[in-house]
Amino acid sequence: MPSPYRAIFRAPGTLSFSAAGLIGRMPLAMMGIGVVTMISQLTGRYGLAGGLSATIALAAAVLGPQLSRLVDRHGQRRVLRPATLIGLAATAGLLLATVYEAPDWTLFVFAAGIGCVPSVGSMVRSRWAALYRDEPRMLHTAYSFESVVDEVCFVLGPIISIGLCTAWFPEAGPLLAGCFLAVGVFWLSGQKATEPAVHPAGQHERGSAMRSVGLRVLVLTFVSTGVMFGAIDVVTVAFAEDRGHKAAASLVLAVYALGSCLAGAVFGLFHFTRPPARRWLIGVCLVGVSMIPLQLVGNLPFLAVALFFAGLTIAPTMTTTMALVEQHVPRAKLTEGMTWVSTGLAVGVALGSSVAGWVIDASGPKAGYAVPGVAGAVAVVVAFLGYHRLNRPVPERGGAQDEQRTGSAGSAGAGAGRDTAGGTGAQERAGGGAPERDLA
């Protein structure tokens, strides 16, 4: 492991909470695709399977920020454990309802309950921020490391989930995802020494983190980015099937995630001294430009190469986004702010998947790549329109200590670089199906 990465783990407890975060994030990449595989195997109804997966994603997008707001006010342990128990109970209910052929509406109720799971990625990143908020270079490396962890989950999670559902029994994928969630969250929430300080709701902290103009710019941009992720997953599967190699779609998407993983690892080795807003704008532009080669694909090898280079733009941009969240959101709302980015990504994924499906049905798989192309262009436009709001001086973030933090937060953003989201997928990355690609 390069020395910058070794350095961030010298602080006591860092290796333990990062390992717990890895386990707790695996369900993000396993649950949605596991439910699709389970339902399609047991019922043969792909429409029902897709509807349940979308319900999980949208429920996580709605509930995630609210849970994170409670975490900021009451602490991770007091909120994460009850929320996780609700999510686990809903998972068990979905499995039983499926096996015993309960009415469809009960499946959707339980799927919505599964969305009541914490954004584990945001919880881990908030611990890094509390630990290294005055050490910009260390925080940058920590954020980059977490982006790599996200991509590892997105490469391994779907493979494990689909493999278990098809080789063992249909319910195995979601069942193991629930086990990972229980172990990861209870292990993480039991580590009191590194838990961020609680910020009870005072007058300054009332209201949502979305009152921050800078955060709204980031979230809107990542709605478009989520559309890209969701569309790429759906279109790639259809494109591979059209070429007679549907099984190769998972390998091509794994190459996409691998590119992001490698870029995130390398990005963490660099130290930046300038504010992150311009770096973020460049990153969003590169993400948008990387969609252009997809319009020219004619075979799977070319597609794999194009997606690999597109993946190189993701993790650095996501890392810088988290640095901007840390800079523009009050300290008392940091976890909520990070979760809102994953929520934007999740909403975009749901939209992208649906729109891409309509385009494929109407015009064929190759035409479907126009959807991420248009979404990338929209993301660039939104980023340019909102750039001046991200680049302006940050106002007081809550008390004298936060005023002192404004300077170091800018440096942290300068040195910091999908929910992770945060997918099979993109849907899993974005947050439950956020990447949040929690993301969690």
Would you kindly state where each structural domain of the chain is located, as residue ranges? 14-194+209-393+405-431
Residue ranges in 202-313 assigned as alpha helix (H): 213-242, 248-267, 276-289, 300-311
Torsion of CA 181, 182, 184, 186, to 10 degrees: 140
Write the single-letter amino acid at 170. Answer: P
Query: Looking at residue 288, what is its pLDDT?
Result: 93
- Element containing residue 355 per DSSP (H, E): helix 334-363
- CA 165 to CA 174: how far, in whole Å? 8
Check whether 356 has a pLDDT greater than 90. no
- CA 19 to CA 409: how far, in whole Å? 26
Query: Looking at residue 428, what is its pLDDT?
Result: 40
- CA 241 to CA 46: how far, in whole Å? 16
> 364 in the Ramachandran plot: left (φ > 0), alpha (ψ -120 to 50) or beta?
left
- Element containing residue 417 per DSSP (H, E): none
Contact 47, 417 (CB under 8 A): no
Comparing CA positions, the residue from 151, 166, 153 lying closest to residue 28 is 153
Percent of the chain with pLDDT over 70: 83
Query: Looking at residue 308, what is its pLDDT?
Result: 92
Give the rounded distance of the alpha carbon of 269 from its chain centre.
Answer: 22
Q: How many helices (H) and strands (E) in the chain?
A: 18, 0
- CA 164 to CA 291: how far, in whole Å? 33
How many residues are listed for the chain in this entry? 440
pLDDT band at 284 (very low <50, low <70, confident <90, very high): very high
Q: Which CATH superfamily, name and number, covers 14-194+209-393+405-431?
A: MFS general substrate transporter like domains (1.20.1250.20)
- CA 220 to CA 341: how far, in whole Å? 9
Query: Looking at residue 362, what is its pLDDT?
Result: 81
- Strands (E) across 303-407 are located at none
- CA 52 to CA 138: how far, in whole Å? 40
Long-range contact set of residues 2-10: C-beta below 8 Å, sequence gap at least 24: 2/269, 4/137, 4/141, 4/268, 4/269, 5/141, 5/145, 5/268, 7/138, 7/141, 8/128, 8/132, 8/138, 8/141, 8/142, 8/145
Neighbours of 246 (CB within 10 A): 13
197 by Cβ neighbours in 10 Å (0-12 / 13-18 / 19+) ranks as exposed
Contact 274, 414 (CB under 8 A): yes
Check whether 85 has a pLDDT greater than 90. yes
DSSP letter at 223? Answer: H
Torsion of CA 86, 90, 93, 98, to 10 degrees: -170
Contact 258, 304 (CB under 8 A): no
- pLDDT, tens digit (0-9, with 9 covering 90-100), for 377-402: 999 999 999 888 877 655 544 433 34
- pLDDT, tens digit (0-9, with 9 covering 90-100), for 200-254: 654 445 566 667 777 888 889 988 988 888 788 778 877 887 888 766 777 787 8
Spell out the residues 6+ positions from residue 12 whose beta carbon is closer than 8 angstroms to its own: 193
DSSP letter at 198? Answer: P
- pLDDT, tens digit (0-9, with 9 covering 90-100), for 110-154: 999 998 888 888 889 889 888 887 887 888 788 878 877 877 787
- CA 119 to CA 60: how far, in whole Å? 9
- CA 184 to CA 173: how far, in whole Å? 16
Torsion of CA 259, 265, 266, 269, to 10 degrees: 170
Spell out the residues 6+ positions from residue 1 whose beta carbon is closer than 8 angstroms to its own: none
Least confident of 172-176, 288-292, 394-398, 416-420: 416-420
- CA 316 to CA 51: how far, in whole Å? 32
Write the single-letter amino acid at 392. Answer: R
Check whether 434 has a pLDDT greater than 70. no
Question: Angle 50-54-55 (CA atoms, 0-180°, nearest 5)?
Answer: 115
Q: Which two tokens stand for residue 61?
A: 């997008």
